[in-house]
Chain A
Amino acid sequence: MSEKRKESGLGKDLVGLENVSGETIQAILDTAEPFKEISERAIKKVPVLRGKTIVNLFFEPSTRTRISFEFAEKRLGADTVNVAASGSSVVKGETLVDTARNLEAMRIDMVVIRHGSSGAAQFLADRIPSNVINGGDGQHEHPTQALLDMLTLRDSFGRIEGLKVCIVGDIVHSRVARSNIYGLQKSGAEVAVCGPRSLIPTRIEEMGVQVFTHIEDAIQWADSLNVLRLQLERMNAGFIPSLREYNRVYGVTQERLDKAPREIVVLHPGPMNRGVEIDSTVADGPQSVILSQVTNGVAVRMAVLYLLAGGAPERAEEAKKGEE
């Protein structure tokens, strides 16, 4: 019996989409499709990762991402342990390198890491043999969020190629923005960002991204808006004067969307600040696919876990030889 088998194109880890090919992104999204169905079953569990141990290592609080990963892991039959390490390693008193060594000593199979410092996922991946999945590192990347955003876009439009997607809001501090830029561009979409210049990183144009400083212009241009959460801290740090003013200048409102030349699909990675970056009428309206994103999040994470679990290249070589 011959069997179709696809190289996932992933290495040991998923640290970011920067170094993942468009083909691989496609493979992950395709793999997510059958996983959607598992979450609809009476018994929402398959034994594919039975006996695998996964540690969810969260140095930053994140209810949403952690729960989504945990569901994904459990529905694949893995044993999971959640480690919530509050604050940075400095506060905790143990260095990340020691944490890594401890994990290695416990012979775990996979680690999902969320950390406040950019590069922390790479740091861990370079030091342990387990598969490492980046659940968000500082302001760097959050690859599974971008993948679920892309899966949701593909559900809505039937394609990603050729779409015009504008990421709106605090781009400077957003790992979601960076992963989306890489992922969407590799999948043939055009990407823009929109926000006040104080929240847009230097030289982002060099990443092939168009910059809008007026939300109205972005709405004229885009097929879809991915509206980022505006964190209160940004106001206190002086990036913007007030949330009220931010809403007046950049808030995604129904009135603004109604002026668009086409039906715009609205995404939001959550959690939302209703009345700040997005109005409730939009969030709860027909153009919003925000809840589909949450559903797709579990499927995408299942796909990533599944592919990484079998992605060891040396095993792939053996498997090929065995088939001949």
Chain B
Amino acid sequence: MSRPLYIEGGRVVDPSQDIDDLAAVLVVDGRIEAVGADISKPDDAETLDATGLTISPGLIDVHVHLREPGGEHKEDIATGSKAAIAGGFTTIWAMPNTDPPIDDPAAVGYVRAAGRAVRASRVMPIGAASIGQQGEKMTEIGELVHAGAVAVSDDGHPVRNSGLMRRLLEYTQTFDIPVLQHAEDPGLTHGGVMNEGRVATELGLRGIPNAAEAAMVARDVLLSELTGGHLHVCHVSARQSVDHLRWAKDRGLAVTSEVTPHHLILTEELVRGYNTQAKVNPPLRLEEDVVAVREALVEGVIDVIATDHAPHHYDEKEREFDDAPFGINGLETAFGLCMQALVDPGYMTLSGLIDRMSCGPARIMGLPTGSLRRGAPADIVLYAPEEKWIVDPARFHSRSRNTPLAGRELTGRIQTTIVGGEIRFVAEGDA
């Protein structure tokens, strides 16, 4: 067993225990032993000086694309999980839309094992909901869960067939896992490359209307009501989707949802000039949508923030807008962008943000992390919440650099990331 770790001098923000105070944190055997202002430091403990920093439970991202297998030129499990700890994420959930998709137990086991071997962020595989993500036949969900899958999803594509979605929401209840739905009616998005609206009209680009998402969300919450299954709606972007989610929350349905950092602050205007870095699905929408998803997140109608980290090789983005792939590289800018979108302007407290990025995901997904309570795995992040920094994609730990935020100033910098009591990331240029 390693030496105990004693983190002193910092401000502890842990919404799961309602703590926001100067305090020390003691980690023993990879778990939280104590948090408090007056705990004593064991003689054999290693000390970590957190003066001027804030200490919170490690961030959890339930939606990332690690691209392995099949897309290793964009990212792999090693580079992706290193990008995660650099962004303060101690747990990431890996989407199964790889090539081939993660639709059998061996593939799930591979992602788990490869993730463990990197010793960066915890990597939890999501299994495909349908074989080959074809949207036709359900995968062996029990086997996937047995191999380590924490959820099922056909992300990248929606589960279009209502009958299949119903069966998924029913069958997954045996294993107590959620169905993660990329809500999109393909009949309404066919060929669309950006938000349908004025900018698309001016640029002559095919649009994806809000209704493409909201219609699917409406169907799915009704199916959750019908079945009682846990529906988790991925990357909510449209204000009309929020109405359906609120309806579900009001009825106490087993419906949760996430919003990405980019949908909380960026709008379709960023696409002007055919900026492929701003090409993402669901697309960046209007200010009124940004306001709606932000308010929903503050209110708790949307439960958590997830990055939808979607790395792409620069060649793939350096082309005609129609031909460039969707996606934003999100792990290393998520915290800073959320600080800027939510905490700086006063929509949320820092504690509120930590809830949405750490405690909340743990709560809705039933994870033991996302808290500094005694006995919890010692997944901890130390950061300077007010420090300004400029996004330089060349310094990303991710293999890809695709971000519309290059050169933008963000607030809040990750300093140290601890997973299971082990210090796995320390920001460069600091002792």
Chain A interface (Cβ < 8 Å from any Cβ of B):
18, 88-90, 95-97, 115-120, 122-123, 137-141, 175, 178, 201-204, 206-207
Contact = CB atoms under 8 A, between A and B. Distances in A.
A97 B273 contact: no
B323 A90 contact: yes
B200 A138 contact: no
B201 A201 contact: yes
The 7 closest A-B CB pairs, nearest first, are A119-B274, A139-B204, A140-B204, A117-B320, A118-B204, A201-B201, A117-B322
A89 B320 contact: yes
- B202, B205, B315, B323 — which one has the most chain A CB atoms within 10 A of its CB? B202
24 contacts: A18-B202, A88-B323, A89-B323, A95-B318, A115-B320, A117-B320, A117-B323, A118-B204, A119-B203, A120-B320, A123-B274, A123-B319, A139-B204, A140-B204, A141-B204, A175-B204, A178-B202, A202-B197, A202-B198, A202-B200, A202-B201, A202-B209, A203-B198, A207-B201
Contacts of B209: 202
Given A123-B274, A139-B204, A206 B322 contact: no
A119 B200 contact: no
Contacts of B207: 202
Nearest to B271: A119
B425 interface: no
B308 to A, nearest CB: 24
Interface in B194-236: 196-198, 200-207, 209
A139 B203 CA distance: 8
A123 B205 contact: no
Contacts of A89: 319-320, 323
Contacts of A97: 318-319
Contacts of B198: 202-203, 206-207
- B205, B209, B315, B322 — which one has the most chain A CB atoms within 10 A of its CB? B322
B321 interface: yes
B181 to A, nearest CB: 25
Given A139-B204, A202-B196, A122 B320 contact: no
Contacts of A141: 204
Contacts, number: 70
A206 B196 CA distance: 13
Contacts of A118: 203-205, 274, 321-322
A140 B203 contact: yes
Nearest to A127: B318
- B201, B203, B209, B274 — which one has the most chain A CB atoms within 10 A of its CB? B201
Contacts of B204: 118, 137-141, 175, 178
Contacts of A123: 274, 319-320
Contact of B205 (A122, A139, A203): A139
A89 B200 CA distance: 22
Nearest to B275: A119
Given A139-B205, A202-B207, A202-B209, A117 B321 contact: yes
A119 B320 contact: yes
A139 B315 CA distance: 24
Given A118-B204, A119-B205, 6 more contacts: A18-B202, A95-B319, A118-B203, A119-B321, A122-B273, A138-B322
B31 to A, nearest CB: 51
Contacts of A139: 204-206
Contacts of B322: 116-119, 138
A180 to B, nearest CB: 13
A318 B274 CA distance: 33
B199 to A, nearest CB: 9
A89 B321 CA distance: 12
Contacts of B273: 122
A252 to B, nearest CB: 24
A116 B319 CA distance: 13
Given A117-B323, A119-B321, A204 B274 contact: no
- A95, A119, A138, A202 — which one has the most chain B CB atoms within 10 A of its CB? A119
Interface string B41-83: 0000000000000000000000000000000000000000000
A96 B274 contact: no
A141 B274 CA distance: 13
A137 B321 CA distance: 11
A203 B320 contact: no
A203 B201 contact: yes
Contacts of A203: 197-198, 201
A304 to B, nearest CB: 20
A118 B209 CA distance: 19
Nearest to B206: A139
Nearest to B316: A95
Interface in B299-319: 315, 318-319
A110 to B, nearest CB: 21
- A89, A97, A117 — which one has the most chain B CB atoms within 10 A of its CB? A117
Given A119-B274, A123-B274, A202-B197, A96 B202 contact: no
A178 B209 CA distance: 20
Contacts of B315: 95
Contacts of A202: 196-198, 200-201, 207, 209
Contacts of A120: 320
A96 B320 contact: yes
B200 A201 contact: yes
A207 B320 CA distance: 25
Nearest to A90: B323
A177 to B, nearest CB: 9
A138 B201 CA distance: 12
Interface in B304-349: 315, 318-323
Contacts of A140: 203-205
